[in-house]
Amino acid sequence: GMFNRDPSLNNEEQLMRMSHVIRHRGPDESDFIVRDSFCAAFRRLSIIDLDHGSQPYTSPDGRFTAVFNGEIYNYRDLRAPLQEEGIEFFTNSEIEVIVALYRKYGPDFVKMLRGMFAIMIYDGDEKNCFVCRDPFGIKPLYYREEKDRVVFASEMKAFLFDEEMGGFDVDKKSLQNYFTFQYVPEPKTMTGKVRALEASHYMMLSASGIEKVVQYEDYRFQTPSKESFEAKAEKLRKVLTESVEYHMISDVEVGTFLSSGIDSAVVTAISSRINPGIKALTVGFDVSSYSEIDDASEIAKHLNVEHIKLKGTCEQFRDAFEHVVWSLDSPVADPSTVAIYMIAGEASRYVKTILSGEGADELFGGYKFYLDSKLSGRFENAPAIFKAACRGISDIWPKGVKGKAFFHRAGTRLEDRYVGNAFLFDEKEKKPFLKTFDPGQSYTEVTRDIFAKTKGQHPMVRMQDCDLHTWLRGDILVKGDRLSMAHSLEVRVPFLDREVWKFASTLSVDEKLREGTTKYILRYAFKDYVNPETFMRPKLGYPVPVRVWLRGELYEWARDIIQNSKADAYIDKNAALKMLEDHRTGKADNYRKLWSILVFITWYRLYIADAEETKKRLLKGEL
């Protein structure tokens, strides 16, 4: 969409080109509207009210025009009291309810919504525009502010056809942060010309441009409630079951992603009780210990659900790589992205909507390193001399020596060492290969304000909070949305629901971590829903044998990408090739670091160096 300072600046042709780039997000229907200084184009993936849910939507009195991407699961609950007040609805779609709520409550209506969404509403009377994004950032929304207008899109790639933008560039700060986090933390993107509207924020625009950006909710972990553990387990069963029921509201078939872990098993178990005919899908690879298919098959058999399995090969993985990088918008150096892209493609052959277990780790304490917080947390307030001694031991001991990581954690403040789930390169490690390295920049600039808001809380809670505001938004939800929508498949995440969050935010550390077990209360609450083996099975998370393949089948492929790189202004080829050779020979385990370089080089080629060729390929349907 566009909001211009003057109607003469409306550019319908450009809008339609931008819309065409993201046609995969809505292949069922497309339309656009021009009103005053507001233009909007929409691509529809029909899920609810297949015959009458068309967009853009204009209210019967002509005042409001709106477009909306996502799902509002409680829209029927919200519609009922409005109907009692005499408000008439003409369809069974969510967009009508959204506009009615905005008319009645203004921007605060977003706090009433249970769902995933990006919404734009133009008010023809006030001549202003309201734009918002859901609390967790499940659905994306990018924008670019120009001299005379603000341009919006659900995916950043649409801006390749923004004539005023003049192409993408590389934001050097974003690039340096990417090589630590393995993604670019929002609101920044890899290009300095486009920003993300942050999760849980809304924006108001007028003829003078962006008037304000407001955080409408701030999700933080609360003081633990005093209910008994059994009462909480029962409450969890109730609230999560309700969320799954809401997330299964659809006029098309719904399936589930099923891995070998507890999160997807619980979602599949609950959904199979609601719909015994549900389909569950699993991906694995033909390398020993890198497939969850057998374990997932046990779960599916126990639940008596139809199980669809995809066993991928190295060749399929390699062939999908470029499409994955293109689909992600900004680089995300997570090898599991390719696995997700592949299983999403398979799922789209059977269903239009899929349930997934994302969010459970951040809400219920699912990452293994959270366990370390109980021990290393004891040293947070230790004397400075003790911390210095621990750091000294860590610095002296070679990499790979058992205990080195523990002494590093014990000797370093949480704020200075923890940047979320992923950590690729520290600042010293970036210098040899990153030509634009700035020694005055630190990755802690991203997390400093986040940690400031949780000062004094338990280290694990602080880590969860950091992951909730960085890793979940920048990695987990980005790959879930972009790689499924690349196949016109909608992913829904029942754990990331208002009521589930409200419950999870009041759990104690002991209720989440107990007896060396992560997500303890989740496992306990649903122990009778899944087979016993699943109850205690450790997390794998779409394992991909990149470590193995870069020492064999993918070695030459990776070498060619580095040697033919067009990103010489940013990446030192010789340093990257040495990193690859050290990995091949076993001198170092560099697969994650190498993957981040391969992803960036490919992104740079598609979005910058060969952008004109990319546009031609788009028009031919090759991307």
* CATH code of the domain in which 309 resides: 3.40.50.620
pLDDT for the residue 404:
76
Distance of alpha carbon 290 from alpha carbon 571, whole angstroms: 30
Asked whether residue 220 is assigned to any structural domain, the reply reads no
Distance of alpha carbon 446 from alpha carbon 433, whole angstroms: 22
Domain boundary residue, one of 544, 578, 599: 544
Distance of alpha carbon 357 from alpha carbon 541, whole angstroms: 10
Which residue is associated with the tokens 């139809």? Answer: 306
Is cis: bond before 543, omega within 30 of 0?
Answer: no
Query: Looking at the structure, do residues 184 and 201 belong to the same domain, yes or no?
Result: yes
- Segment (H or E) for 119: strand 115-123
Domain limits for position 416: 369-426+437-466
**Mean per-residue pLDDT for 121-128?**
96
Query: Looking at the structure, do residues 339 and 382 belong to the same domain, yes or no?
Result: no
pLDDT for the residue 375:
66
Distance of CA 54 to the CA centre of its chain: 27
Mean pLDDT of the chain: 93
State both tokens at 440.
């005055």
Model confidence at 52, pLDDT cuts 50, 70, 90, reads: low
State both tokens at 608.
């910058």
Model confidence at 270, pLDDT cuts 50, 70, 90, reads: very high
pLDDT for the residue 361:
97
Query: Looking at the structure, do residues 51 and 182 belong to the same domain, yes or no?
Result: yes
Strands (E), 427-468: none
Query: Looking at the structure, do residues 528 and 504 belong to the same domain, yes or no?
Result: yes
SS3 41: strand
DSSP for residue 136: S
Question: Residue 431, exposed/middle/buried by CB under 10 A (0-12, 13-18, 19+)?
Answer: middle
Asked whether residue 191 is assigned to any structural domain, the reply reads yes
State both tokens at 65.
């025009």
Query: Looking at the structure, do residues 196 and 291 belong to the same domain, yes or no?
Result: no
Alpha helices in 22-114 (DSSP H): 75-84, 94-105
Model confidence at 31, pLDDT cuts 50, 70, 90, reads: confident
Strands (E), 337-470: 353-355
**Mean per-residue pLDDT for 409-438?**
88
Which residues are CB-contacts of 204 (< 8 A; sequence separation ≥ 6)? Answer: 107, 128, 129, 130, 131, 210, 211, 212, 214
Amino acid identity of residue 366, one-letter, is: G
| Least-confidence region, from 400-414, 418-432, 514-528 | 400-414
Q: What backbone phi and psi angles, to 5 degrees, belong to 331?
A: -60, 135
pLDDT in tens, 130-157: 999 999 999 999 999 988 899 999 999 9
Amino acid identity of residue 364, one-letter, is: F
pLDDT in tens, 194-237: 999 999 999 999 988 999 999 999 999 999 999 999 999 999 99
Taking 70 as the threshold, does the pLDDT of residue 602 lie above it? Answer: yes
Query: Looking at the structure, do residues 129 and 62 belong to the same domain, yes or no?
Result: yes
Record the pTM.
0.94
| Least-confidence region, from 258-267, 373-382, 563-572 | 373-382
Model confidence at 59, pLDDT cuts 50, 70, 90, reads: very high
Taking 70 as the threshold, does the pLDDT of residue 619 lie above it? Answer: yes
Taking 70 as the threshold, does the pLDDT of residue 377 lie above it? Answer: no
Domain boundary residue, one of 523, 544, 565: 544
pLDDT in tens, 440-466: 999 999 999 999 999 999 999 999 999
Asked whether residue 131 is assigned to any structural domain, the reply reads yes
Asked whether residue 221 is assigned to any structural domain, the reply reads no
Query: Looking at the structure, do residues 187 and 303 belong to the same domain, yes or no?
Result: no
pLDDT for the residue 180:
96
**Mean per-residue pLDDT for 545-568?**
97
Distance of alpha carbon 126 from alpha carbon 63, whole angstroms: 9
For 202, 326, 334, 432, 439, the CA distances from 155, given in Å and listed in that order, are: 18, 11, 19, 33, 32
Query: Looking at the structure, do residues 551 and 537 belong to the same domain, yes or no?
Result: no
With CA atoms as reference, report the closest residue to 169 among 562, 604, 601, 597: 604
SS3 38: strand
Amino acid identity of residue 493, one-letter, is: V
Asked whether residue 499 is assigned to any structural domain, the reply reads yes
With CA atoms as reference, report the closest residue to 116 among 158, 153, 72: 72
- DSSP lists the bridge partners of residue 205 as 129, 210
Model confidence at 376, pLDDT cuts 50, 70, 90, reads: low
Query: Looking at the structure, do residues 205 and 238 belong to the same domain, yes or no?
Result: no
With CA atoms as reference, report the closest residue to 578 among 564, 592, 562, 565: 562
CATH number of the domain encompassing residue 44 = 3.60.20.10
Model confidence at 413, pLDDT cuts 50, 70, 90, reads: confident
Taking 70 as the threshold, does the pLDDT of residue 478 lie above it? Answer: yes
Question: Residue 447, exposed/middle/buried by CB under 10 A (0-12, 13-18, 19+)?
Answer: buried
Which residue is associated with the tokens 């304490």? Answer: 365
pLDDT for the residue 539:
65
Distance of alpha carbon 513 from alpha carbon 528, whole angstroms: 20
Burial profile 382-416: b = 16 or more Cβ within 10 angstroms, e = fewer: eeeeebeebeebbeeeeeeeeebbbbbbbbbebbe
Model confidence at 14, pLDDT cuts 50, 70, 90, reads: confident
Model confidence at 400, pLDDT cuts 50, 70, 90, reads: low
Taking 80 as the threshold, does the pLDDT of residue 121 lie above it? Answer: yes
**Mean per-residue pLDDT for 12-25?**
89
Asked whether residue 224 is assigned to any structural domain, the reply reads no
Taking 80 as the threshold, does the pLDDT of residue 65 lie above it? Answer: yes
SS3 342: helix
pLDDT for the residue 408:
75
pLDDT in tens, 85-99: 999 999 889 999 999
Query: Looking at the structure, do residues 77 and 185 belong to the same domain, yes or no?
Result: yes
Alpha helices in 348-383 (DSSP H): 360-364, 369-376
Domain boundary residue, one of 189, 215, 241: 215
DSSP for residue 476: I
Query: Looking at the structure, do residues 573 and 478 belong to the same domain, yes or no?
Result: no
Which residues are CB-contacts of 401 (< 8 A; sequence separation ≥ 6)? Answer: none
pLDDT for the residue 357:
97
Model confidence at 531, pLDDT cuts 50, 70, 90, reads: confident
**Mean per-residue pLDDT for 279-303?**
92
Cβ distance 46 to 64 under 8 Å? no
SS3 213: strand
pLDDT in tens, 574-596: 999 999 999 999 999 999 999 99
pLDDT for the residue 42:
86
What total number of domains does the chain contain? 4
**Mean per-residue pLDDT for 104-117?**
98
Which residues are CB-contacts of 119 (< 8 A; sequence separation ≥ 6)? Answer: 66, 67, 68, 69, 98, 110, 130, 131, 132, 133
Distance of alpha carbon 71 from alpha carbon 62, whole angstroms: 24
Asked whether residue 432 is assigned to any structural domain, the reply reads no
Query: Looking at the structure, do residues 523 and 412 belong to the same domain, yes or no?
Result: no
Residues in the chain: 623
Model confidence at 333, pLDDT cuts 50, 70, 90, reads: very high
Distance of alpha carbon 301 from alpha carbon 308, whole angstroms: 12
Asked whether residue 599 is assigned to any structural domain, the reply reads yes
